[in-house]
Amino acid sequence: MSSTLYRVAAAVVRHRARTITLWLLAILVIAGAGNLVSAGTDDEFTIPGSPSQTALDTLSRVFPQVSGASAQLVLTLPDGRGVRDQPVHDAVTDAIDRAKGVEHVIAVISPYDEKIKGAISADGRAAIITVQLDVSVTEIEEETRVRLTAVADGLRQRAGPGAAVLAGGDAFADRVPKLSPTEGLGLLVALMVLLITFGSMIAAGIPLLTAVLGVGLSASLLYGITVVAGVPSTAVMLAVMLGLAVGIDYALFILSRHRDQLRDGLDVNESIARAGATAGSAVVFAGLTVIIALVGLAVAGIPFLTTMGLAAALAVVIAVAIAVTLIPALLAVAGERMRPRPRRRRFTLPEINVFHHWVRLATRRPVITIIVIVLGLGMATLPAGELRLALPDNGSEEHGSAARTTYDTVSEHFGPGHNGPLLVTANIISSRDPVGDMDRLGAEIEALPGVALVALSTPDPKGQVGIIKVIPDSAPDSAATTDLVHRLRALEPALHEKFGVHTAVTGITAVGIDVSARLGAALLPFGLLVAGLSLVLLTMVFRSIAVPVKATAGYLLSVGAAFGATALVFQRGWLAETLHVSHTGSVISFLPIILMGVLFGLAMDYELFLVSRIREEYVHTGDARHAVGAGFRASAPVVVAAAIIMLGVFAAFVPDGSATIKPISFSLAVGVFVDAFLVRMTLVPAVLQLLGDRAWWLPRRLDRALPSLDVEGEGLTRELALADWPEPGATDVVAVAGYTTDILRIGPGEIVEVLGDPGTTRAFLYAIGGRATGLPGEAKTLGLVLPQRASTVRQKAVLVRCPVLAEPGRATVAAARLAPPLLLVEGLDHVPGSEPREAVWRALRDAARQGTTVIVTARDSFGAPRAIDLNPTEVYA
């Protein structure tokens, strides 16, 4: 990976102007096209195939009068007056007639209708006019709301002194999250941190510029996608929030490495290429972990959640692409201005290295540090058990909004259940007495615990489906309402046996309960996916068993602490007023799975950037405990800066964030703080200090089985070190040390026999052909360093394995006619007969004349121009 990114960064530096121009054109074109063709976001939370959604879909076909969104006109009167007074009755009747003329209104239910129960409060001072629409919540036009509000205003004026009329309900809900000036505070925090970190306005400006460009491109693409697919506004906000955070952080990592190298005197262009290879490799890996976790949200099987994950993953993909292409181009334009200037000091003070004291305190008594952190975060996790999940309703809207005021008024005068009625549908197509059966079903349901009343029980005009409007005695997001839904569904067999009808429970409240249940059930498989993924990926990166286990355990502690803090604020109400939390008692259903996915990627970022430097020190010095302190001091400043930026971006969405985004951004901010400062920068050094050399142990067989990702750039470092080996300008096709006394060098067009034991010669052939990673020393094939460039060598070198072929002679001749740059023939003595062997040698000589280097292995010599004997004891198996 590092070698590829080195070449990419070097190419970008050479073509810096073209790269910047292409990015700017892409952003301008996509931004313009995306906003031009946008069809608007789709904010319906549904689960196709769930019982509630299936019933709702059926209602939309056979009983559309109750399947769409609804609005409420709530009339309240002062003491001494009642809604049954004749002047008020006339005003309400007139308002109903006016409401029927509003576009998309399919029915208006009068509170005086004898079929309707509970539409007039017990004290007679309040009434609810229900306005049923033929469109869903997301399809309601603003003109419809304006006209219904005008109807409410007219009713208020006609109802007499002291009357109040509120227009609310689902039709007036505004759950679409929007950006506000408060989010700009996150960028301000990022700018301050970058200025402190780099001490340069140019260096601080590049991460902000590229992050904003990446977020703009991501949002434009998502708005463009709305033409062919539904994209919820929450997905766009999540993409903006995450894209901004990772975009700044990824740029920070690359810039930090570049400036460190410039400080050491490296040439600007070479430094950019190396930073793109080393820090860029870490960025690609970190981005990959975030992307995989976000795409893994699809395990829940909920379309809108899958869309959210894919939208956020798109933002991360763009952030990674910008980091490894556009940022190197901008650094090349900045040139020497990025080189840190030596600081001038008039007098010298003893330097106080905060990170030195930090790691020293964390590792002085590692057992105590581990116990304190684990117990502390474990206790912080305990409140997470109280967390209730629900979809946002009007009760979670901001105080003062029309929807929230109406919600509170209805709760006060009618009870909380009127804000979340349930619809029980009954298949009555075979009933001989639809009206009577619906009345009897309604009476049966009304007797259930948790039912305040049955407001309506009626068949549709065609007598196919009946509906029962059930008013719970609890709020829509309460556990009691969830229990009532389960109770109603459990009653279905008894109702079928008694009345011969099939029933189903639906309505917006029931759909929300089904969504929450599905998401809750998906947490365990998603958690196992994320935990297993972290173990595998980190094992490949760090070649260790203990480090991945420790990293995964730390991630789970961070997630638990974030859940616990979220429960304290949004469940118990701690600091709710300070954080402008308008609703407590539940959080949005998909918060846990979003938090787990996003925090997984961020936690792996911090783990990678911190532990990779520790491992680098350990590889160089062999002293595990010294490596903890040295590696920590080298990487901690960048990790702290990245965490503060991420914390600032997420925290900026909390004060004025919507009910959907606020708990997500709060939990992510807490999770980032806990993971970066308590887990990665305190617990991790303590664990590594305690384990010492054992932290880097990996079974040999597992080490060989796992692919090497070279995220830390060790392979690139080796390639650069061997750039002029065995001598500057060498044209050897094969140069390898360790197989013979001297460096074995084979030039273009040579034919070489390698003689000896088949096991020994096979190991040699596979090693120089890029088929094996075990090498006793330095090696180059076709000018490419092995084993780092083994995959490229495999593509260019042709291998013929005579011992396993039915016609080895014919296969070797065919391979020679291709005239590859390197032809490797294993076990030439397996070609039977003198004539076939002569034909093979003629083909090999013809290939050599065309520039092909031929290396064959055999037990005995065939008289090639050059023969090499290998000592089996010197071959690394």
Q: Give me the residue spans of the domains in the chain.
A: 2-41+199-333, 51-172, 357-388+519-696, 422-506, 717-874
Residue 561 has pLDDT above 90, yes or no: yes
Q: Which residue has the tokens 């060498």?
A: 730
Cα(62)–Cα(52) distance, integer angstroms: 16
Task: For residue 439, report the phi and psi dihedrals to the nearest 5 degrees.
Answer: -65, -40
Closest CA to 778 of 727, 729, 822, 824: 727
In CATH terms, the fold of domain 717-874 is: Rossmann fold (3.40.50)
Report the amino acid identity of residue 418: H
The confidence score (pLDDT) of residue 196 equals 82
> How far is C-alpha 479 from the chain's CA centre?
30
Residue 55 has pLDDT above 80, yes or no: no
Neighbours of 851 (CB within 10 A): 12
Q: Span 140-155, mean pLDDT? A: 88
Q: Which residue has the tokens 């068993």?
A: 545
Residue 75 has pLDDT above 80, yes or no: yes
- Which CATH number, 2.30.30.100, 3.20.20.10, 1.20.1640.10, 3.40.1350.10, labels domain 357-388+519-696? 1.20.1640.10
List, for residues 603-630, the tens digit of each pLDDT value.
Answer: 887 888 888 888 878 877 888 888 899 8
3-state secondary structure of 227: coil
Q: How far is CA 725 from CA 571, 781, 868, in A?
A: 65, 12, 21
Residue 351 has pLDDT above 50, yes or no: no
Neighbours of 274 (CB within 10 A): 25
Q: Which residue has the tokens 């991460």?
A: 207
Per DSSP bridges, beta strands 853-858 and 822-826 are parallel
Angle at 413 between CA 412 and CA 414, to 5 degrees: 105
677-714 as b/e, with b when 16 or more CB fall inside 10 Å?
bbbbbbbbbbbbbbbeeebbebeeeeeeeeebbbbbbb
Q: Are 645 and 289 in contact (CB under 8 A)?
A: no
Q: Are 69 and 171 in contact (CB under 8 A)?
A: yes
The confidence score (pLDDT) of residue 60 equals 67
125-138 as b/e, with b when 16 or more CB fall inside 10 Å?
bbbbbbbbbbebbb
Give the CA count within 13 Å in the CB-facing half-sphere of 299.
19
Q: Which of 14-18, 335-339, 477-481, 492-496 has the highest mean pLDDT?
A: 14-18
The confidence score (pLDDT) of residue 656 equals 61
The confidence score (pLDDT) of residue 203 equals 87
Q: Are 144 and 126 in contact (CB under 8 A)?
A: no
Angle at 768 between CA 767 and CA 770, to 5 degrees: 70
% of the chain surpassing 70 pLDDT = 91
How would residue 16 be classed by pLDDT, with cut points 50, 70 and 90? very high
What is the C-alpha radius of gyration for the chain, rounded to an integer number of angstroms?
35
Report the amino acid identity of residue 163: A
Structure tokens that stand for 191 in this block: 């700018």
How would residue 876 be classed by pLDDT, with cut points 50, 70 and 90? very low
**Contacts made by residues 615-622, CB under 8 angstroms, sequence distance 24+:** 615/542, 615/696, 615/712, 616/712, 616/714, 618/696, 619/714
In CATH terms, the fold of domain 422-506 is: Alpha-Beta Plaits (3.30.70)
Q: Are 165 and 410 in contact (CB under 8 A)?
A: no
How would residue 253 be classed by pLDDT, with cut points 50, 70 and 90? confident
The confidence score (pLDDT) of residue 484 equals 93
Give the CA count within 13 Å in the CB-facing half-sphere of 192.
10
Closest CA to 439 of 428, 450, 430: 428
Whether 422-506 and 51-172 are alike in CATH topology: the answer is: yes
Crossing angle of the two packed helices 591-621 and 233-263, in degrees rounded to 10: 10
Q: Dihedral through CA 755, CA 760, CA 763, CA 765, nearest 10?
A: 0
Angle at 360 between CA 357 and CA 364, to 5 degrees: 145
The residues near 202 (Cβ < 8 Å, ≥ 6 apart) are 334, 337, 338
The confidence score (pLDDT) of residue 67 equals 59
List, for residues 626-676, the tens digit of each pLDDT value.
Answer: 889 988 988 888 888 888 888 887 887 777 656 677 888 899 999 999 999
Q: Span 145-159, mean pLDDT? A: 90
Residue 424 has pLDDT above 70, yes or no: yes
List, for residues 262-294, the tens digit of each pLDDT value.
Answer: 888 889 998 898 888 888 888 888 888 888 888
Q: Span 95-100, mean pLDDT? A: 91
Cα(787)–Cα(496) distance, integer angstroms: 71
Question: What is the 3-state composition of the chain as percent helix, strand, coil, each rounded to the nearest 5?
Answer: 60, 10, 30
Q: Are 104 and 184 in contact (CB under 8 A)?
A: no
In CATH terms, the fold of domain 51-172 is: Alpha-Beta Plaits (3.30.70)
The confidence score (pLDDT) of residue 874 equals 42
The residues near 541 (Cβ < 8 Å, ≥ 6 apart) are 285, 608, 612, 709, 711, 712
The confidence score (pLDDT) of residue 853 equals 94
Closest CA to 514 of 301, 671, 317: 301
Higher pLDDT, 94 or 712: 94
Cα(304)–Cα(301) distance, integer angstroms: 9
The confidence score (pLDDT) of residue 875 equals 40
Closest CA to 816 of 749, 866, 756, 872: 749
The confidence score (pLDDT) of residue 383 equals 93
Cα(857)–Cα(740) distance, integer angstroms: 15
Cα(363)–Cα(614) distance, integer angstroms: 14
Closest CA to 47 of 519, 523, 719, 729: 519
Neighbours of 767 (CB within 10 A): 25
List, for residues 694-717, the tens digit of each pLDDT value.
Answer: 988 888 778 777 776 666 566 666
Q: Dihedral through CA 796, CA 800, CA 806, CA 810, nearest 10?
A: 80
List, for residues 810-865, the tens digit of each pLDDT value.
Answer: 999 999 999 999 999 998 888 888 778 888 889 999 999 999 999 999 877 777 78
Lowest mean pLDDT among 216-230, 255-269, 498-512, 575-589: 575-589
Q: Please state, rounded to an integer, the average pLDDT across all residues of the chain.
A: 84
How would residue 677 be classed by pLDDT, with cut points 50, 70 and 90? very high
Q: Are 481 and 475 in contact (CB under 8 A)?
A: yes
CA atoms 135, 141, 145, 148: torsion sign = negative
Neighbours of 532 (CB within 10 A): 11
The confidence score (pLDDT) of residue 68 equals 67
% of the chain surpassing 90 pLDDT = 22
The confidence score (pLDDT) of residue 562 equals 95
422-439 as b/e, with b when 16 or more CB fall inside 10 Å?
bbbbbbbeebeebeebbb
List, for residues 224-245, the tens digit of each pLDDT value.
Answer: 888 777 777 778 878 887 888 7
User: Residue 458 forms beta bridges with which residues?
Assistant: 467
Residue 258 has pLDDT above 50, yes or no: yes
Residue 375 has pLDDT above 90, yes or no: yes
* Check whether domain 2-41+199-333 has CATH 3.30.390.10, yes or no: no
How would residue 592 be classed by pLDDT, with cut points 50, 70 and 90? confident
Q: Which pTM does this prediction carry?
A: 0.76
Residue 59 has pLDDT above 70, yes or no: no
Longest Cα–Cα distance in the chain: 120
Q: Span 723-743, mean pLDDT? A: 82
